[in-house]
């Protein structure tokens, strides 16, 4: 890209995503190094690397990357981006089951007067950890401020409300709340992808409907190009195995070597993402990098 005098954030993020899909760690590192110290670019790539670390269950490294992301955003005079980085990390920790870490990050983000997307992520985090009163206040604010925002009204608010319903043990209500999100659920919005599908899968699982839950997680895993390195995609693989075990089907799962993730939370299965990638979903096409021949 530099040889052809193209050096912008879009190409760096595309390059990183393509490298991830092709399992090319060296190329991912190259993209990170190429934006080091560049205002408006470095914190975005660091945030992507944090998500990659979480995808593989390396939560300690993910936290370190998130801290570097926040520091880079503050250095660049971008408090909104710093707040968003904290909020996105909070949502990720919450979905991994690390409630204390999620609450702390959410509170740090709130102190930075977060914008719309950051507040969405904070509400998601609070809903997952059972802080439903605080999450409801944020839902009310978002609903009042963005009454005509299609994604807020039909994607995020139903997802957050459904997550709160799950926190109260009402799986069927959660499933009902998510019906309105169906036309929009395949989109990548704010900090993550296919969140309504994931929460619906959790709701079916908690309702004891293993086959229906498995169908939701399979839907997520069938779209690798959309999911890329989203940590929730790795969690979907774990949830798929649980759903199939519930329904009596032979689970799609990796080898027997299981360890507890070094930072706690969701148990990490050694090689989970890489092994299930070839079993549970199609391989990435070999010609992703052909996109760059256009430049």
Torsion of CA 147, 150, 153, 159, to 10 degrees: -160
Q: What is the mean pLDDT of the chain?
A: 86
How remote is the C-alpha of 20 from its chain's centroid?
15
Q: Which class for 3: exposed (0-12), middle (13-18), buried (19 or more C-beta within 10 A)?
A: exposed
Looking at residue 44, its pLDDT comes to 95
Q: Is there a domain that residue 55 lies in?
A: no
Q: Is there a domain that residue 31 lies in?
A: no
Determine contact, residues 131/139, Cβ cutoff 8 Å.
no
Q: Is there a domain that residue 117 lies in?
A: yes
CA dist 141 to 64, 123, 145, Å? 31, 11, 6
Looking at residue 23, its pLDDT comes to 94
Looking at residue 248, its pLDDT comes to 83
User: What domain count does the chain have?
Assistant: 1
Helices assigned H by DSSP within 129-271: 132-145, 150-151, 157-167, 171-177, 195-206, 210-221, 224-227, 231-247
Looking at residue 188, its pLDDT comes to 75
Q: What is the pLDDT of residues 146-184, one digit of tens each?
A: 999 999 999 999 999 999 999 999 999 999 999 999 999
Q: Which domain holds residue 98?
A: 78-145
Q: What is the pLDDT of residues 10-47, one digit of tens each?
A: 999 999 999 999 999 999 999 999 999 999 899 999 99
Torsion of CA 234, 238, 241, 242, to 10 degrees: -150
Torsion of CA 286, 252, 130, 181, to 10 degrees: 60
Gap between the Cα atoms of 33 and 124, Å rounded: 32
Q: What is the pLDDT of residues 42-78, one digit of tens each?
A: 999 999 999 999 999 999 999 999 999 999 999 999 9
CA dist 268 to 51, 246, 294, Å? 15, 20, 40
Residue 271 has pLDDT above 70, yes or no: no
Q: Is there a domain that residue 270 lies in?
A: no
Nearest to 41 by CA among 64, 7, 66: 7
Residue 281 has pLDDT above 80, yes or no: no
Nearest to 201 by CA among 252, 156, 168, 246: 246
Backbone angles phi, psi at 188, to 5 degrees: -100, 115
Looking at residue 190, its pLDDT comes to 75
Strands (E), the chain: 188-189, 192-193, 258-259, 268-269
Gap between the Cα atoms of 32 and 34, Å rounded: 5
Q: Is there a domain that residue 125 lies in?
A: yes
Residue 189 has pLDDT above 90, yes or no: no
Gap between the Cα atoms of 71 and 79, Å rounded: 10
Gap between the Cα atoms of 116 and 139, Å rounded: 11
Looking at residue 3, its pLDDT comes to 55
Determine contact, residues 13/44, Cβ cutoff 8 Å.
yes
Tokens of 152: 């807020």
Q: What is the pLDDT of residues 120-156, one digit of tens each?
A: 999 999 999 999 999 999 999 999 999 999 999 999 9
Residue whose entry in the numeric block shows the structure tokens 């890329």: 228
Q: Is there a domain that residue 262 lies in?
A: no
């Amino acid at each position: 890209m530099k040889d052809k005098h193209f050096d912008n954030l879009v190409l760096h993020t595309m390059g990183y995503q393509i490298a991830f899909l092709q399992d090319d760690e060296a190329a991912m590192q190259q993209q990170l190094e190429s934006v080091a110290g560049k205002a408006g670019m470095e914190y975005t790539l660091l945030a992507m690397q944090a998500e990659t670390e979480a995808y593989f269950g390396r939560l300690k490294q993910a936290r370190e990357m998130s801290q570097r992301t926040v520091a880079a955003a503050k250095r660049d005079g971008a408090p909104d981006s710093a707040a968003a980085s904290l909020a996105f990390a909070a949502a990720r920790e919450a979905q991994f089951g690390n409630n204390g870490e999620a609450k702390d990050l959410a509170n740090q983000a709130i102190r930075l007067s977060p914008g719309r997307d950051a507040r969405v992520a904070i509400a998601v985090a609070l809903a997952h950890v059972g802080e439903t009163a605080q999450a409801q206040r944020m839902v009310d604010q978002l609903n009042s401020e963005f009454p005509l925002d299609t994604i807020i009204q039909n994607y995020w608010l139903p997802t957050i409300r459904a997550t709160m319903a799950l926190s109260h043990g009402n799986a069927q209500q959660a499933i009902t709340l998510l019906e309105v999100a169906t036309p929009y659920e395949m989109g990548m919005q704010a900090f993550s992808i296919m969140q309504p599908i994931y929460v619906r899968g959790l709701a079916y699982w908690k309702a004891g409907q293993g086959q229906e839950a498995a169908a939701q997680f399979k839907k997520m895993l069938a779209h690798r190009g959309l999911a890329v390195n989203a940590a929730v995609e790795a969690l979907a693989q774990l949830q798929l195995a649980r759903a199939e075990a519930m329904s009596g089907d032979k689970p799609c799962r990796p080898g027997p070597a299981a360890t507890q993730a070094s930072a706690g939370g969701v148990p990490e299965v050694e090689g989970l993402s890489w092994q299930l990638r070839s079993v549970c979903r199609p391989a990435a096409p070999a010609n992703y990098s052909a996109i760059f021949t256009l430049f």
